[in-house]
Amino acid sequence: MLSVATRVGVLAMLCLLALWTEYLNLKIGYNNPRLVELSSGRTVRMFYEFSDAFFSFFGEPVEMAQRNAGMTWSIRLGGVPFTDPVAALTVFMRNGRMAPGFALGLILPLGLALLFGRVFCSWICPASLLFFTITRVRRLLGRFFYFPELQASPGLAWGVLAGGLLAAWLFGHGIWTLLLPYLGIGQTIFHGLAFGTLAVAVASVLVFALIDLCLGQQFTCRYLCPTGRLLGFIGSKARITIRRDASQCLDACNSCVDTCPLKVKPKLDETVNCSLCGECLVTCPTGCLSIGRPKS
């Protein structure tokens, strides 16, 4: 699936950003491949030389490397900022203002949500790739063990958002590494590759994984993740969404409802919280579903 490939690409990008932090330290500290090898080994030297050649292609290596940094909370790619909407809310609540560059980083995430809805969840979010895998494991183990399919109020994610904002105001931004699975994964990758240590956030990622395995298919994405709920709200009137040709739809068929990871109901022309993952398009027996502008 293409959406799986894009999320794997995001994971690879996060790994590179973490490794480039180490490259910057070595570049500023040594600026010599031989010294890098003496201090960190031949493998690190090879990565150092690769990064040096890559960034030199675009300009001065240190300057170019500094234009690409960050994690899922806030990222710069080629100098273009990308800001998590929850991060923006937290910073604004704590400081009463945002730096211009940080605020500009909201343009692309919010623009994507307004155009395509909750598309971040199935095409970008690295945590959803974990939950996607757990769903497959859950189905496999379900042949031998019973797993409940619990439901919760959609308002639960709003409660997590409100509680997280209050906790962040009282204790600092770091609280979100325990409440946002994708931020926990990003933090774990960064600490592991840049510092060689295990982040505390890995514990919360394991908890969310167990919740999904034991409570329900993508339970975290559907009921707990405040970012997904916020983006779904922003994209409730998305300009590109799932469309249904009612004349081709079978009354007795519920394949799109059964297969949707977020339990959206295309059969009822429901599109709020749709992440455009495309799984319903694959399973629809008549091909009555498509992606396009919503019908007026």
Burial class (CB in 10 A: 0-12, 13-18, 19+), 275: buried
Name the CATH topology of 241-292: Alpha-Beta Plaits (3.30.70)
Radius of gyration of the chain measured on its C-alpha atoms: 21
The type of residue at 187 is: Q
pTM: 0.87
Q: Which tens digits make up the pLDDT trace of 196-212?
A: 777 788 899 999 999 99
If we measure between CA atoms, which residue out of 210, 16, 241 comes closest to residue 115?
Answer: 241
Q: What distance, in Å, lies between the first and last C-alpha atoms of the chain?
A: 30
Q: Which tens digits make up the pLDDT trace of 64-100?
A: 888 888 888 888 888 888 999 999 999 998 888 888 8
State the span(s) of the chain assigned CATH 3.30.70.20: 241-292
